[in-house]
Amino acid sequence: MSFLESLNWRYATKRMNGKKVPQNKVDIILEAARLAPTSSGLQPFTILSITDPALQEMIKPIANNQPQITEASHLLVFAAWDSVTPEKIDEVFDQVIQERNLPADGLDNYRNFLKSKFGSMSTEEQFQSAARQTYVAFGIAIAAAATEEIDATPMEGFRNSELDELLGLKEKGLRSVTLLPLGYRDEENDWLLKQKKVRRTKSDLVIEL
């Protein structure tokens, strides 16, 4: 399938059949998310890949009992940094300097610019900025799943703070942002599968100047 055919093939799967997605396919989806570009290369998020059925059962009520939470073989949780601190910025820049064999102070101007930029934001604004980057990786992970013919359901509908509590995210400096159950569509029972994909028309969505 071409990339556009894959995007047309995918849909927000409402029911999955419980079949297990091979780990090598999940790894491709995670690798796509890892390769996603992010502002200043910070990659300010963590992805939790959950395959423990008992944990999925505990998450289900927090996500309004959506059945895909337990019908998926892998439940991805995208969680953004709750703050963008100088320490976290240093970690990223130290890695770049090491991997590119740059002088230790080679990126100091940009590093300090970023520290000052985030330092002037509230913690909540830092998180919101990190959350936006998370959506880039989330979008690319959704597309990667489609190219591998793995079904996925992008989800915002869950109680974030309860999930953070359950997964101990606060202690990790993270806040949950989105969910992505991975599995296979239940062709008999998924009402949405038979429905036409609806999108705004190109002329409504795009302005050419």
Q: Does 32 bind its own copies (CB under 8 A)?
A: yes
- Residue 66 interacts with its own copies (CB under 8 A): yes or no: no
- Both structure tokens of 38: 């992010």
Among 81, 82, 94, 89, smallest CA distance to 116 is for 89
Which residue, 91, 82, 77, is CA-closest to 130? Answer: 82
196 Cα distance to chain centroid: 26
Choice from 18, 19, 20, 35 touching its own copies (CB under 8 A): 35
DSSP string, 12-49: B-S-B--PPPPHHHHHHHHHHHHH---GGG---EEEEE
Does 138 participate in binding its own copies (rule CB under 8 A)? yes
Binding mask 89-128 for its own copies (x = CB under 8 A): ---x--xx--xx---------------------------x
How many Cα atoms within 13 Å fall on the side-chain side of residue 51?
9
Among 30, 69, 84, 182, contact with its own copies (rule: CB under 8 A) = 30
205, 152, 181, 183: CA torsion to nearest 10: 170
Nearer Cβ to its own copies (142/184):
142
User: Does residue 7 belong to the site contacting its own copies (CB under 8 A)?
Assistant: yes
Distance (Å) of CA 94 to CA 42, 51, 82, 120: 12, 33, 21, 22
Closest distance to its own copies from the beta carbon of 186 (Å)? 19
- Smaller CB separation from its own copies, 95 or 123: 95
List residues binding its own copies (CB under 8 A). Answer: 3-4, 7-8, 10, 12, 28, 30-37, 39, 41, 43, 45-52, 55, 92, 95-96, 99-100, 128, 131-133, 135-140, 142-144, 147, 154, 156, 167, 195-200, 202, 205-209
